[in-house]
Structure 1
Amino acid sequence: MSATHPGRLSAAEFNAAYPVGTLVFAYPGARPEDAPSATRLVTRTRSAASVLGGHTDVVWVENHSACIALSHVDVVTQAEWAAALTAAAEEVEEKSSRTAADATPGEAYPGELAMLRGLVRTLRTVARYGTDMGEVQQLLAEHASDDADARQGAGS
């Protein structure tokens, strides 16, 4: 990974190098090398970096309610950020997949509920990571097409 770890930069140096909106992986609480179960946020900065309490350089990121120490922030490329979003969406999709034999009564076709749940999970992932509305519209269009194909195949 070519992520840039700015933990040794002061807030002023970080601000000079990275504008608000910079794509980052942020680790609230602990970095993965320090705690294997650490949470990774695929996000972007929403503020300039500042000094908290006169001693800790921090930055605020989207979709997180607290500031994060610069030592827990990695600046990433667009490709790394997009790959992380894709991986998160695929993980959600994998968890929601079901076979047609698992049809729930009241579904228009076998798997309809699973498809809708998968769409909702994917949209939640997309929204959590601040993806733009164009991508949301694309997901909805893909769902509409898949839904129409499934309904036609089920004869409804």
Structure 2
Amino acid sequence: MTIRIEVSHRQEPSHQVLLDNAAALGVTGVTDCRVARLYFLAADPGADKIEQLCAMLLADPVTERASWLTTATQSRESGNDGTVIEVAFRPGVTDIPARELARGMVEIGLPPCEVATATRYELSSDLSEADLHKLARGLLCNDTVEHYSLGPINPHFGEEAAA
């Protein structure tokens, strides 16, 4: 069972540059954007261990909040999947933040676990599916090393590129 952890700012910073770049790309109608970091654990270490992980390594308790769920019960409390774009590394591309998180987990006494990362963009907009794809391809995703999904993305574990 995969664990999905979302870390976001308590007070969302302005993403005006992203909105301006979307308009320059010809995608108008995006009025706001919320960005979150996503972490996926291939195994469930238990609620206490996940809370410890969030408190010690993933979220600044003053400026950020972390929430988690199992992907089996993945019902999003906020955001409509139609206005969500999630971006992650392609299989075969080394996910350095995930590798470092896996190392850090062992250092703080958590059981070893495969980890993957992604970024979530929740858009306030009335964009068509075609515009969402245009925004993802043209601005949010580097197609060489990343892939994206409209709505929740499926993580890839243990598929690093050969050196």
Q: Give the alignment's TM-score, normalised by structure 2.
A: 0.28
Q: Considering fraction of residues, name the structure with more strand.
A: 2
Bigger helix fraction: 1
Larger radius of gyration: 1
TM-score if structure 1 supplies the norm length? 0.28
* Higher RCO structure, 1 or 2 (CA under 8 Å, sep 6+): 2
